Amino acid sequence: MSTNEVESGTGNPFELPPLHPSLFNPTDQERRFLRWAISPDDETVKSRVFQIGKEAYEVLPYPCIHAFHYTCLYMRENSVYNELLDLANKYPFPPILLDLGCLMGTDARNLIRDGYNKSGGQILACDLEQRFIDLGYKLYQDGPESTHPTPIRFFTGDIFKMSIAPPTEATEHGRDLPQNLTLDGVKGKLDFVYAGALFHLFDEPTQRDLAFRLARLIQMPSDSSGQLPDAIIFGRHAGLDEEGYISGHFVGGRWGQRYGHSPTSWVSLWKSIYTELYGHEWVEENIQANAVMQRINTKVKMLFWSVRIKRSYRENGIVWKRDGSDVPLFVGGT
Ligand SMILES: C[S@@+](CC[C@H](N)C(=O)[O-])C[C@H]1O[C@@H](n2cnc3c(N)ncnc32)[C@H](O)[C@@H]1O
């Protein structure tokens, strides 16, 4: 989704361009995925995709629905994707990945096809809107009541309602996920977090807040004996060559302004989030952030980015200074 996509309407956010099947142009890779996930028959795929698109567009007319992005596989285009699959399969325990703002869960389902869960890794997928999750079940016919329910654990949640307080039970047992998933319930228990086309819905301070919250979702060691393999937060969203506000409206999102980071400012943002959490020295040794601007079609440029976190314990205690006070990040973390 981009300014250009938004501006393909009339400029009035309430006059929406109609959905049109001619805009559904899957790549070869996406076509193979859709044949695997929906039907080997391309006509069946097409009519199901279009029907679901119409229903989703009525829920919220996101430009990415208009552009059929809910059938795209942008997660796998991230340069860290293969590295993540390798890492996941070498973990000493089954890793947990969350796709936040999953919409219908296409990227998450493709992770299964690409073997993420070969060694038991779990995939969680969360969205603000249960109706999008339900449309995903309808698109792929793999809901809980179906004959082949997806192993992905879908749940609803608003990331901005998750408490930003430090997780209090990041012990070994802290990895156990609650029966009923909530964002607060998975906070501090995750190894990989993906956010596709989410950040660009918001203004600059909200993007910073969101990044802080994603960092909170990741499990960190609660003592020096707790060895954890690297964690990764990654995603993609509209960016600008020079950071600044993106002009134009965004249909269906918050009505505020949308910020576009540049690759440089995006990397700086992540370093400053982790500096706020663990200090400058720790960041130099433990954070590897990367962002690349990529043109995804003639009009749209997106930042594809990743933050790799070496989860080393901070010797003299991990502190959380957001509210001006120093609070131990984890029980036993001082
Ligand atoms: C533009 S779609 C992106 C979908 C998909 N991740 C992708 O890469 O195409 C953004 C999704 O984020 C969800 N979303 C928006 N605000 C959210 C929030 N505060 N918490 C969780 N999900 C949110 C929306 O419901 C929508 O499904």
Burial grade of 204 (CB within 10 A; 0-12, 13-18, 19 or more): middle
pLDDT at 15: 56
> Is residue 98 lining ligand 1, measured as CB closer than 6 Å?
no
Q: Residue 62 above 50 pLDDT? A: yes
> Is residue 198 lining ligand 1, measured as CB closer than 6 Å?
yes
Residue closest via CA to ligand 1's atom 25 equals 128
> Is residue 121 lining ligand 1, measured as CB closer than 6 Å?
no
> Is residue 158 lining ligand 1, measured as CB closer than 6 Å?
yes
> Is residue 263 lining ligand 1, measured as CB closer than 6 Å?
no
**Hey, what's the torsion of the CAs at 256, 241, 269, 215, to 10 degrees?**
80
> 24: CA distance to ligand 1 center in Å?
20
Could you give the CA distance from residue 44 to residue 34 in angstroms, rounded to a whole number? 10
| CA 98 and chain centroid, separation | 7
pLDDT at 171: 53
> Is residue 159 lining ligand 1, measured as CB closer than 6 Å?
yes
Average pLDDT rounded to a whole number, residues 235-248:
90
Average pLDDT rounded to a whole number, residues 211-225:
87
pLDDT at 225: 66
Average pLDDT rounded to a whole number, residues 147-152:
96
Residue closest via CA to ligand 1's atom 14 equals 101
Q: What percent of the chain has pLDDT over 90?
A: 66
Could you give the CA distance from residue 109 to residue 102 in angstroms, rounded to a whole number? 10
Q: Residue 232 above 90 pLDDT? A: yes
> Is residue 285 lining ligand 1, measured as CB closer than 6 Å?
no
pLDDT at 174: 54
Find out whether 285 and 314 touch, Cβ atoms under 8 Å.
no
Domains and CATH numbers, the chain: 73-328 (3.40.50.150)
Find out whether 76 and 107 touch, Cβ atoms under 8 Å.
yes
Q: Residue 267 above 50 pLDDT? A: yes
- Shortest-distance atom of ligand 1 to CA 69: 9
Report residue 11's pLDDT band, with 50, 70 and 90 as the boundaries. very low
> Is residue 66 lining ligand 1, measured as CB closer than 6 Å?
no
State how far the alpha carbon of 333 is from the alpha carbons of 13, 54, 86, 90, in Å. Answer: 49, 50, 30, 27
Average pLDDT rounded to a whole number, residues 196-217:
95
pLDDT at 248: 64
Q: Residue 78 above 60 pLDDT? A: yes
- Shortest-distance atom of ligand 1 to CA 198: 10
How are beta strands 258-260 and 244-246 bridged, if at all?
antiparallel
Average pLDDT rounded to a whole number, residues 221-240:
87
Average pLDDT rounded to a whole number, residues 222-236:
85
Q: Which of 71, 127, 246 to mutate to test ligand 1, by most ligand atoms within 8 A of the CB atom?
A: 127
> 241: CA distance to ligand 1 center in Å?
23
**Residue with structure tokens 């506000």?**
245
pLDDT at 227: 74
> Is residue 160 lining ligand 1, measured as CB closer than 6 Å?
yes
pLDDT in tens, 159-187: 999 999 888 755 555 577 999 999 999 99
Average pLDDT rounded to a whole number, residues 97-101:
98
Beta bridge partners of 129: none
Report the mean per-residue pLDDT for the chain.
86
pLDDT in tens, 271-283: 999 999 888 999 9
pLDDT in tens, 295-329: 877 777 899 999 999 997 765 444 444 444 444 44
Q: Residue 100 above 60 pLDDT? A: yes
Q: Which of 81, 103, 183 to mutate to test ligand 1, by most ligand atoms within 8 A of the CB atom?
A: 103
pLDDT at 321: 40
Over its C-alpha atoms, the chain yields an Rg (Å, rounded) of: 20
Average pLDDT rounded to a whole number, residues 127-154:
97
Residue closest via CA to ligand 1's atom 16 equals 128
